[in-house]
Structure 1
Amino acid sequence: MTTTTRVRRTRADWQAVISRAERSALSTAAFCAAEGISTASFYLWRKRLGASNPPQGDVGEEAPEFLDLGLLSRPVKMDTASWDLELDLGDGVVLRLRRG
């Protein structure tokens, strides 16, 4: 049986972690795995501390917190009734939705 020790980090500790991540060539997921921290905690603290530069490996702008998919449920013409949606959730997790 493996036990996990929870580490309580101070604000200064998180600032140091985020600074190291910004200098790292690793993706966020790889950096967090190497540091033994969850990506959720990393993103939460990065947002709290207002880090402006995402670590290398993050592509594009910051993702929106909410994406309205209401248009997907509206009736459409039969010739365009099918669609595919793929969301890359990170860490090798991909969500695929298909209508057709």
Structure 2
Amino acid sequence: MRKHVASLFATAVLVGAALPVAASMPASAASFSCQPVSHSYTVSQEKVAVHATPSPRGSVVGYKYKDNKVHADYACSNSTGNWVCIGQCHVDEESITGRWVFRNYLKG
């Protein structure tokens, strides 16, 4: 009985450890429409968050300020809107990461 409880506990620990990882992963690339671009923009808002993923819930990794110039390498659309990647872009079937800014905060 003790071995059975121990194995159930070990399984629960493994499942519990996997949940935060799954929750922090970006949505699959299939739910996004992305294309490579090469376009320069100017920030139009006073202060704009730069996210680690193209999502308003993605971790904020920095900020851009009004009139800053940025250059996009990827443009993606998803259910939260249109996003551009302005640095460290990685877009493939397995993951989507980089430095992402909501397109509506940019002009150009």
User: Could you say whether these structures have the same fold, taking a TM-score greater than 0.5 normalized by the shorter chain as the test?
Assistant: no
TM-score, normalised to structure 1, is: 0.23
Q: Which has the higher contact order (CA 8 A, sep 6+)?
A: 2
TM-score, normalised to structure 2, is: 0.22
More strand by share: 2
More helix by share: 1
